[in-house]
Structure 1
């Protein structure tokens, strides 16, 4: 800021400033915003600031409001930066002086004026004389009820903002008894609320000064505010010891100003300060809330609070840690948890500062995580999966340091492989409670490790008690326990397992292992054969290989024995639906997952057995379809036979395309083929569709045959009970009645041009239409 800022600056209280100068907010300044409503960020700043006022005036730490600077001329101070804080201080003093009956002080506050609008200026003059009943809950309404508060005052945004702030001050201070003590603190030489005052001179025009300074000036960042508060907090004693000196505190904080700042600057450039703030916030957040989860705090109590942390500014976040978190009674010694987090952060950043690149050398071919990429992403922008992975890896590095020796590197790579498999195959679903539970599991595993050794990591995984896992993680953890046992058992198993994990992107190979069970043991030869079959069918993403015909695959899979209760073991339930199933988007990976205990993938197991040693997968799939025993598909399985025998996947339904999702209801007798993914989309009834296909195959005039679709799950027209989905031909309509009888007869109905309805069985209706 060159020579325009005086070399001499001082700590100053609002009372001292207004005793020396008039304070005039210039026209070029924006409206007072700290009372703005319907703005969550402003509300957070406002509430935190007034709470800090309260704490400082009631024996808390001294509150320093950073730099306030501006033009001094003819005993008038025109702020360039600090308008919002000065206005809040003006309102605080007005309230305290009014409550304490300090009329001389109220009169002196008349030297504070707003020039942005005439109404703002007159409001600051008028409120000196307002008489209030402080036993009432609301200040704003009382001022608005005064005779002079006209419509122009009500439309002034600065005034409305001031009134909101006065109400917050009132609600914060209302129950205090000794306002004389508070008033004396505000006007005393040792006022606990001060700011750094920088008078500026030698500008010919104050408007010019305002424009130039706002183009060049820079406020303290959130992280600078947080560091300043941390340096003067009790956490310094908790981290560095009770006998910590002022010098030690400065050295501790200087790491963030120098060494750690360079670490972040090399990756984030001018956004390095925000990235440091986010790193500190999220690491403390993850430690604290994972402990809250482990301590039994109900999920509903912390799931929303977890999300708020990264939205806190420096002051608000410091208040969060100063209070020891959210005050959950179940969390024991919360400040020690936060202090330990700060110690972790410091050590991790010391470790990372020693390495130009953070990536740790690979001993396994597969790319799991890049430590460099993890660290180089702003922590506040991470997904839950990324957050959990970072936490699990950094906890290990915190405990054992950056691995350099070969055994240490190999051990870390096995830990990273385990973390990758667990995180990739756990559905966090945007739920912070699930990520908190996962971080607890990883932290406890790291705590239980005695040394950075590969065998010890594998033994720890093998012996892990599943009852201590989370519901979401246990499916994959069971697989990892089995794999750890086999890797310990032999190098041959280790080679096979690593190769299979490297082939499949998600590292989930539980289906290969379950298909290879012989009694209670895994058979290595069966595993090799199943892995070979899997590679013939699926690519690394578990989509079908391009050489494999998807329709043949799906029809052959439907022909396999179904051991699920609903006889829908070959299909996936669609989101937000209890009756919609399908091969939508052909996400076969879900049919191979561990999530349902393996029941749904049993059908896939039977298919693998039939394709064992296959040299031509499509030819063998065709053979499976051609050899289907029709008599097996009865009852709840009867709907599958038409799909197996007829190539219905992806067919056109009139002007729509079948999206390979079906609606199943009424003991699987109600079958609707969907043109979307839920029953709310257009759909066609299966038996009606099959009749239309049979008629077209017979050679009738297809141009006169039309399918009529319908939306939603309603089946019949409420007026006459005729099906809402039907085919039309030469003025006649043909539909199908759906019942829950397993062997229905005469369920087709025909409506003529006079709306007369008659019923027919399958053969009768076919012959009837052919003769039209």
Structure 2
């Protein structure tokens, strides 16, 4: 999948429909009713951080006129039932936030740079009118009116002119999507003035993304529900995922390496970054999804990553185990503070430091998650010792944040991760033997703090690593 699209290009370049060779042209992009409201314009701490980071990257690229990759837009491509013409629409399943921001950016630049009547920018005007919001009637009407609205707001904030327009109704004030769009337009205005870019609208084709129609991914409407059942505000995991994928783009090897597209057509390749991004949204979510606790699935997803990083820090860090008591050690954020915080995003700085020192953690997390999904039953069974009579009641701490998590279980998690990462393939019989050893050790060790976790892991793990990693197996 090498074809990229821009905000205007999505309406002119054909996209795959039912196969790679069956191409159709999209006439409309729709944000369907089931989608969450526009969240990038909210004023919460997490949303503000994501908005500022996203706009900063956009304007940096516009300033130097270079391509900015915006990952994938997932959508369900369907025939337009509103008329008899051979037209196709795409309902956005993931990418709504980014695409809405592109819509607002293009409207702003079209008016700010006074290109409303320039024939060269007719594709921009047409694209604005081809983007439809169906989350609420007020959002639908607002976007239609905004696409037709032209104004000269000079040095004023865009929101000041829009809210005074004759077509702007007071009922729009109560729509969180509309309110978020006005916040985003004012933020775009601030960055435009800060970077002082001339003719920025001419450079917006450099803001590019890939398109992945849903039917190519062999997923049903169930995926649609899972990707959008996380509430109206951006979740803790949404914030982490944005930072995680942003950090991943800085790894040259992942940018250059081509891999088979997960869930794609045979022979279809993408960069390793794009493949991991797809798995984050459309594959691994199955591990954490539970219809009885939809709103908590993102918390469990986030908790997996924080615990994963805690384990890697305890195993790989060169600091002495006793230094894990230091409140400034990253493991205290990954484990101690995060375990106490259910729905608060504690920032990405510590994660960024570890990923900069260990870029292999991106593919390590990928391998662990792939293995957890492929061997769910066996791994869940191994999360309690074979002699435990209450296995079914204990659950799976890898994927369920509601399960009480202790330092002992953190030790077990680290041992499982290391087994997965040590061997190229997952040997089920060897894994069972290893877990018997692990449980014998942890059940007979007093593990009541992070220092004990680090000590136990660093003593135990070298005893099973294979010869090719410089160790002899005792299993």
Q: If the TM-score is normalised by the length of the shorter chain, which range does it land in?
A: 0.5 to 0.7
Relative to structure 1, the CA distance from residue 407 to residue 347 in structure 2 (aligned partners, 3 Å threshold; closer, same or farther) is closer
1:42/1:184 CA distance change after superposition, 3 Å: same
Distance 1:54 1:275, change over 3 A: same
> Is 1:237 matched up with 2:259?
no
What is the CA–CA distance in structure 1 between the aligned matches of 2:311 and 2:34, rounded to whole Å? 42
1:65 to 73, 76, 89: 73
Report the CA distance between 1:123 and its aligned residue. Answer: 4.3
SS in 1 for 2:153: coil
Cα deviations by residue, 1:673-702 (Å, 9 ceiling, x for unpaired): xxxxxxxxxxxxxxxxxxxxxxxxxxxxxx
Partner of 1:166: 185
Which secondary structure does the structure 2 equivalent of 1:120 belong to? helix
Q: CA deviation at 1:85?
A: 5.4
Quick check: 1:132 aligned with 2:154? yes
C-alpha separation in 1, matches of 2:210 and 2:372: 38
Instruction: Give SS of 2:358's match.
Output: helix
1:160 positional shift: 2.1
Aligned-partner Cα distance in 2 for 1:267–1:97: 42
Aligned to 1:394: 416
The answer as to whether partners of 2:288 and 2:298 remain within 8 angstroms in 1 is no
Q: Which whole-Å CA distance do the structure 2 matches of 1:169 and 1:281 have between them?
A: 32
CA distance change for structure 1 residues 305 and 94 in 2, over 3 Å: closer, same or farther? farther
Residue in structure 2 matching 1:385, options 406, 409, 431: 406
Q: Report deviation, 1:90.
A: 1.7
Alignment of 1:275-674 (within 5 A): 277=301, 281-287=305-311, 298=328, 302=333, 306=338, 325-326=348-349, 331=353, 334-340=355-361, 342-343=363-364, 346=367, 350=371, 357-358=378-379, 359=381, 367=388, 375=396, 378-385=399-406, 388-394=410-416, 397=419, 404=430, 411-419=437-445, 421-423=446-448, 439-446=453-460, 449-450=462-463
2:26 touches 2:89 (CA, 8 Å); kept in 1? Answer: no
Cα deviations across residues 505-560 of structure 1 (Å, max 9, x unaligned)? xxxxxxxxxxxxxxxxxxxxxxxxxxxxxxxxxxxxxxxxxxxxxxxxxxxxxxxx
How many angstroms does 1:92 deviate by?
1.3
Aligned-pair CA distance for 1:246: 3.7
- Superposition map of 1:99-114 within 5 A: 99-103=112-116, 104=118, 105=121, 108=125, 111=129
Structure 1 residue 163, shift from structure 2 partner? 0.3
Query: 1:118-154: per-residue Cα shift (whole Å, max 9, x none)?
Result: 96267415742132317xxx5434544x464866265
- 8 A Cα contact 1:35 1:163, kept in partner: no
Q: Does residue 1:95 correspond to 2:108, yes or no?
A: yes
Distance 1:266 1:87 in 2: 27
Which runs of 5 or more residues in structure 1 are unaligned? 1-9, 200-213, 427-434, 453-772
Asked if structure 1 preserves the Cα contact closer than 8 Å seen for 2:414 and 2:457, the reply is: yes
The unaligned stretches of length 5 or more in structure 2 are: 13-24, 229-236, 263-268, 466-475
Q: For residue 131 of structure 1, give the secondary structure of its aligned residue in structure 2.
A: coil
Asked whether the equivalents of residues 56 and 193 of structure 1 are also in contact (C-alpha less than 8 Å), the reply is no
Aligned counterparts of 1:295 and 1:36: Cα–Cα separation in 2? 39
Cα distance per residue 1:5-42 (max 9 Å; x no partner): xxxxx864322356798859799788953356466776
* Aligned residues of 2:109 and 2:201 also touching (Cα < 8 A): yes
Counterpart CA distance in 1 for 2:113 and 2:9 is 19
Corresponding residue number in structure 2 for 1:120: 142
Q: Distance in 2 between matches of 1:26 and 1:244?
A: 33
**Is structure 2 residue 243 aligned with structure 1 residue 218?**
no
RMSD value, Cα: 6.3
Task: Write the distance in 2 (CA, Å) between the matches of 1:149 and 1:288.
Answer: 56
Aligned to 1:183: 201
Is 2:30–2:92's contact at 8 Å kept on the other side of the alignment?
no
Contact 2:306 2:338 in 1 (8 A): no
What is the CA distance between 1:67 and its match in structure 2?
A: 1.9
Separation in 2, partners of 1:276, 1:86: 27
**Greater relative contact order: 1 or 2 (C-alpha under 8 angstroms, separation 6 or more)?**
2
| Change in CA separation of 1:174 and 1:128 when aligned onto 2, cut-off 3 Å | same
C-alpha change, 1:108 and 1:409, in structure 2 (3 Å) is closer
- 1:15 matched to which residue of 2? 8
Q: Deviations over 1:605-648 (max 9, x none)?
A: xxxxxxxxxxxxxxxxxxxxxxxxxxxxxxxxxxxxxxxxxxxx
Q: 1:536 maps to what in 2?
A: none
SS at match of 1:61: strand
How far off is 1:177 after superposition? 3.6
Distance across 1 between alignment mates of 2:29 and 2:458: 59
C-alpha separation between the residues in 2 aligned to 1:163 and 1:191?
A: 21
Deviation readout 1:469-504 (Å, 9 max, x if unpaired): xxxxxxxxxxxxxxxxxxxxxxxxxxxxxxxxxxxx
Residue 66 of structure 1: how far off its partner (Å): 2.2
Secondary structure of the 1:89 match is: helix
Match of 2:471 in 1: none
- Contact 1:64/1:195 (8 A) holds in 2: yes
* Offset, 1:99: 4.4
Contact 2:38 2:180 in 1 (8 A): yes
Against the structure 1 CA distance between its residues 27 and 364, is the aligned structure 2 distance closer, same or farther, given a 3 Å change threshold? closer
Aligned residues of 1:91 and 1:162 also touching (Cα < 8 A): yes
Aligned-residue offset at 1:416: 1.9
1:155-206 Cα shifts (integer Å, max 9, x gaps)? 35243232022133345554324343x42332x4x6524545799xxxxxxx
Measured in 1, the distance between the counterparts of 2:107 and 2:43 equals: 25
Structure-2 separation of matches of 1:114 and 1:352: 35
TM-score by length of 2: 0.55
Q: Report the structure number with the largest CA radius of gyration.
A: 1
Contact 1:278 1:379 in 2 (8 A): no
Name the count of aligned residue pairs. 390
